[in-house]
């Protein structure tokens, strides 16, 4: 084949390859969008994000160990609308020990939406019990300023000894609290009834353990969420996002243990410990520890 002939074939192939690569790049760019950044320096160790069910466009975030018993109500641009203080269960300098994840879901009053805050971090697996707080959502949390609210609390112990955990989820179908442990080679899936009474003490139920490929600590599980209709599940490590579609009437724990998850788009953050569905379940947000950390939005493929 002569050189001119080769060029006639090669140039169109290169052009097609270029346009395909460009199209794929644009597709990849659309998979995540920076919608803003956390706006105040106090939000420097964010661990957990959850969408409000009563205030459109409002999301809750919190700091982990070292902060007091409070939650920030922000929008997707990172603007802080309110700082919500609640009563910690005591026994700690700041009322709480290590709040690591938050979730929104139903509770004891029908038609009322609740914010759940998981004081479940335990880096050294030494805590005698962990605590989950429950407080009714309020319309006023969309307004600017400092708010105070009363939180009910429940103490949990693990059936197989203390664990570090950073994942709290609410199943609105079976009315269960889910906690997934963090840092061991295989992580445990634990549940407890959602309808606890204030100051109850309960033992969590272990349903099984999940193994994720990867190296430590990147594979450690740092956050999770269940969609508001209960049909989708997200679990996040430091470098990956895992996704399950829940069949009708199948327990969340069974889905996670028996179905292989899909890996969804994720741009690895500095220390990403927060993930939460949008209210419509068509996408999810992530953010990270660090001052003025960006907020990422991802569209779920096919939604």
Query: How far is the C-alpha of 226 from the C-alpha of 244, rounded, in Å?
Result: 10
* Token pair 């209709």 in the structure block, residue: 229
Over residues 19-64, the pLDDT tens digits come to 443 343 344 445 679 999 999 999 999 999 999 999 999 999 999 9
What percent of the chain has a predicted confidence (pLDDT) above 90? 85
Over residues 155-179, the pLDDT tens digits come to 999 999 999 999 999 999 999 999 9
Give the pLDDT band of residue 11 (cuts 50, 70, 90).
very low
Over residues 235-267, the pLDDT tens digits come to 999 999 999 999 988 999 999 999 999 999 999
- Cβ within 8 Å of residue 113, ≥6 positions away: 52, 53, 54, 104, 105, 106, 107, 136, 137
| Whether pTM exceeds 0.95 | no
Query: How far is the C-alpha of 111 from the C-alpha of 62, rounded, in Å?
Result: 25
- Cβ within 8 Å of residue 58, ≥6 positions away: 51, 52, 73, 74, 75, 81, 141, 142
Containing H/E element for 170? Answer: strand 165-171
* Token pair 């445990």 in the structure block, residue: 188
Closest by CA to 165, choosing from 206, 92, 213, 222, is: 222
What integer pLDDT is reported at residue 17 of this predicted model? 40
What integer pLDDT is reported at residue 15 of this predicted model? 40
Query: How far is the C-alpha of 257 from the C-alpha of 121, rounded, in Å?
Result: 23
**Quick one: CA torsion of 57, 58, 63, 69, rounded to 10 degrees?**
-170
Over residues 54-91, the pLDDT tens digits come to 999 999 999 998 899 999 999 999 999 999 999 998 66
What integer pLDDT is reported at residue 20 of this predicted model? 40
> Strand pairing partners for 51?
59
Parallel, antiparallel, or unpaired for β 130-136 and 176-181? unpaired
Give the pLDDT band of residue 7 (cuts 50, 70, 90).
very low
Query: How far is the C-alpha of 61 from the C-alpha of 46, rounded, in Å?
Result: 6
Count CA atoms within 13 Å of residue 107 on its CB side: 22
Is the separation of the CB atoms in 281 and 227 below 8 Å?
Answer: yes
Over residues 259-295, the pLDDT tens digits come to 999 999 999 999 999 999 999 999 999 999 999 999 9
CA separation, residue 191 to residues 66, 153, 179, 255 (Å): 26, 16, 6, 14
What integer pLDDT is reported at residue 31 of this predicted model? 64
């Amino acid at each position: 084949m002569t050189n001119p002939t080769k060029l006639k074939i090669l140039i169109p192939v290169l052009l097609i390859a270029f346009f395909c690569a460009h199209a794929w790049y644009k597709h990849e760019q659309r998979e995540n969008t920076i919608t803003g950044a956390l706006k105040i320096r106090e939000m420097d160790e964010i661990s957990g994000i959850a969408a409000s069910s009563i205030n459109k466009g409002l999301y809750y975030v919190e700091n982990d160990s070292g902060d007091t018993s409070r939650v920030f109500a922000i929008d997707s641009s990172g603007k802080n609308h309110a700082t919500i203080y609640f009563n910690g269960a005591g026994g700690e300098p700041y009322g709480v020990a290590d709040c690591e994840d938050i979730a929104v879901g139903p509770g004891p009053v029908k038609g009322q939406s609740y914010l759940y805050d998981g004081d479940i971090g335990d880096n050294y697996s030494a805590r005698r019990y962990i605590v989950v707080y429950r407080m009714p959502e309020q319309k006023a949390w969309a307004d600017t300023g400092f708010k105070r609210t009363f939180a009910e609390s429940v103490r949990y112990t693990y059936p197989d000894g203390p664990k570090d955990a950073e994942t709290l989820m609410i199943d609105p179908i079976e009315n269960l609290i889910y906690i997934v442990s963090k840092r061991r080679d295989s992580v445990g899936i634990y549940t407890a009834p959602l309808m606890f009474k204030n100051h109850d003490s309960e033992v969590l139920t272990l349903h099984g353990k999940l193994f994720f490929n990867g190296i430590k600590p990147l594979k450690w599980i740092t956050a999770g969420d269940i969609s508001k209709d209960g049909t989708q599940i997200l679990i996040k490590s430091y470098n990956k996002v895992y996704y399950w579609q829940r069949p009708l009437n199948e327990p969340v724990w069974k889905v996670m243990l028996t179905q292989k998850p899909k890996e969804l788009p994720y741009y690895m953050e500095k220390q990403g410990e927060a993930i939460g569905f949008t209210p419509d379940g068509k996408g999810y947000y992530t953010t990270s520890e660090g001052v003025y950390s960006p907020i990422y939005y991802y569209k779920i493929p096919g939604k």
